[in-house]
Amino acid sequence: MLIFFKFVLKKINNKNLKAKSNLIGAVLCLLLLTACSKKILTDNPEPEAMLYEINHKDDVSLVFFDHNQEGGLEKHLNIYQRFAEAFDTIQDVHVFHVKEDCVIEFRNYGYYYFNNQDYKVKSGMILSNGVDKPILVANPDKYIETYESYFKVPFNDKVYYSKLRKAEIAERQKESEKELKSKFKVDQNYAHNLIQNSNVPYYPKPNAFFKCSKGKVTAKAFRDSTKTAKSFMQIETLYDKNGQIKQYSTIINGVLYSDDLYYRNSYHLIDSIVRRNEKGEKSKDVFKYGKKQFSIISVDEKNVMIAKVFHLNDKFQCAKSETVNGSGDVISISFFEYDDLGRMVKEANATQKLVYEYKNQQEDFYSKMKIYNIKDNALLSENIRYSEGNKDIFISKEKDKILSKTVSLNDSNGCAKMIYNYNSDNNLSEAYQYSYEN
């Protein structure tokens, strides 16, 4: 006499949704095997059998079964896990894992039965749309393909997107490598216009601080104005005879933290910047020039990727810049506008707009910079710059509240000797001492 244990899977309500995937795995469907074997999927149950019910009419049910099999299930279980995670919080898709011998009844628009007592098929995936007769696929390599063809939807889980993402990044690396090998003929006129007009950090406005950009400039940072404590940071900048950077080094607590070496072509344009970090690891930024733009390509042992793109207008001014991360994603875009004297008057990105004002027609440095919210054009803060004798004073404020203040004490050439930074409470946060060696 056959003895059957009946286990009924009730309709899972939304409250118990998260536990749905684990419920069937915890249930032991213990059936004594008979001498006869029947089809895996059938319209009729075995007469004596007490049934295990899946009552998800109109919903998708995905059943992964495996029994009496000790090995060879890695791919099967891996794909089950992918489906379980992908649909864990989706109310109308139910994913089950059956590890015991069972007879399962699918209560769709018609009753259908699954009996995995067949020794030839010990593992597989059953797909039910909650309406028609379920289908079975035994080859794990066909699970996703069958799901997509049966339900006419792609299975785009995190593994899929991870593969897609890797392919996307690899394609961007190929594009960066292609750009790295590209050729563009630079002449004296091109170089002169770019250096004079681009107004980017790598080519700052010339002559603004030319007297201060010669030889070696050292800035030592202190926590207080007495400079009694040892400097916690030191920045050394080495300039060539044209006032362009040759080397930029940062020293923290007496140890070299980073060192950047600038290599230029015969027209004084930057060819590359070779960087070395505190571990001695090297990377390189390669500059590639074109007719309407120039790019910076970051190159290290693991990656080659465009890092920055500067788009130029007809006057060789930077009209747009794009910042790119190590995966090739554009993470920020900024737009720039200039006045008739080539001075920047507006800078805008996705969240903020910066408006620059100048004291007169002669000064290249702004006297006021206002920062606005890009959505409602509300004034967020403003920076004010003015001079008092040998002092340059910079104040950042929000309405009437001072956020920070910087005071620069200058020598007779207008070069900074000491710079003091104050916080919103007007307490000194750090001081920088400058020295110049020609």
Tens digits of per-residue pLDDT, 76-105? 999 999 999 999 888 889 999 988 777 788
The larger pLDDT score, comparing residue 227 to residue 363, is at: 363
Half-sphere exposure of 200 toward its Cβ, with a 13 Å CA cutoff? 25
Residues 6+ away with beta carbon under 8 Å from 41:
112, 113, 114, 126, 133, 134, 135, 136
Distances from the Cα of 332 to the Cαs of 179, 203, 335, 356, in angstroms? 21, 20, 10, 21
CB atoms within 10 A of CB 318: 23
Return the bridge partners of 277, or none. 258
Dump pLDDT digits (tens) for 321-360: 999 998 898 989 999 999 999 999 999 999 999 999 999 9
Average pLDDT, integer, range 68-74 = 78
User: Helix, strand or coil for residue 106?
Assistant: strand
Residue 116: predicted pLDDT: 65
Residue 154's pLDDT band (cuts 50, 70, 90)? confident
Confidence check: pLDDT of 172 > 60: yes
225: closest CA among 429, 15, 21, 3? 429
Report d(CA 19, CA 15) in Å as an integer.
Answer: 9
Q: What's the alpha-carbon Rg for the chain, to the nearest Å?
A: 35
Confidence check: pLDDT of 27 > 50: no
Report d(CA 114, CA 51) in Å as an integer.
Answer: 10
Report d(CA 289, CA 187) in Å as an integer.
Answer: 11
Confidence check: pLDDT of 23 > 50: no
Report d(CA 316, CA 196) in Å as an integer.
Answer: 9
Residue 119's pLDDT band (cuts 50, 70, 90)? low
Residue 234 tokens, joined: 């030191």
Q: Are 218 and 250 in contact (CB under 8 A)?
A: no
Report d(CA 94, CA 16) in Å as an integer.
Answer: 12
Residue 17's pLDDT band (cuts 50, 70, 90)? very low
Report d(CA 273, CA 237) in Å as an integer.
Answer: 14
Residue 43 tokens, joined: 């319209």
Report d(CA 404, CA 395) in Å as an integer.
Answer: 6
Q: Using CA of residue 337, residue 344, residue 213, residue 210, what is the dihedral sign? A: positive
CATH of domain 14-155: 3.40.30
Residue 83: predicted pLDDT: 94
Name the range with the highest mean pLDDT among 24-33, 186-195, 209-218: 186-195
The larger pLDDT score, comparing residue 301 to residue 146, is at: 146
Angle between helices 74-86 and 143-151 (to 10 degrees): 40
User: Helix, strand or coil for residue 198?
Assistant: coil
Q: Are 153 and 93 in contact (CB under 8 A)?
A: no
136: closest CA among 212, 78, 61? 61
Beta strands in 174-232 (DSSP E): 216-222
The larger pLDDT score, comparing residue 267 to residue 6, is at: 267
Mean pLDDT of the chain: 85
Instruction: Name the amino acid, one letter, at 183.
Output: K
Instruction: Determine what percent of the chain is predicted with pLDDT higher than 70.
Output: 86
Report d(CA 99, CA 67) in Å as an integer.
Answer: 5
Average pLDDT, integer, range 372-392 = 94
Confidence check: pLDDT of 302 > 70: yes
Confidence check: pLDDT of 120 > 80: no
Report d(CA 222, CA 18) in Å as an integer.
Answer: 56
Report d(CA 106, CA 43) in Å as an integer.
Answer: 10
Token match 């505190």: residue?
A: 278
Average pLDDT, integer, range 392-420 = 94
Residue 242: predicted pLDDT: 87
Distances from the Cα of 11 to the Cαs of 60, 62, 64, 107, in angstroms? 13, 15, 19, 11
Confidence check: pLDDT of 175 > 60: yes
Residue 304: predicted pLDDT: 93
The larger pLDDT score, comparing residue 254 to residue 313, is at: 313
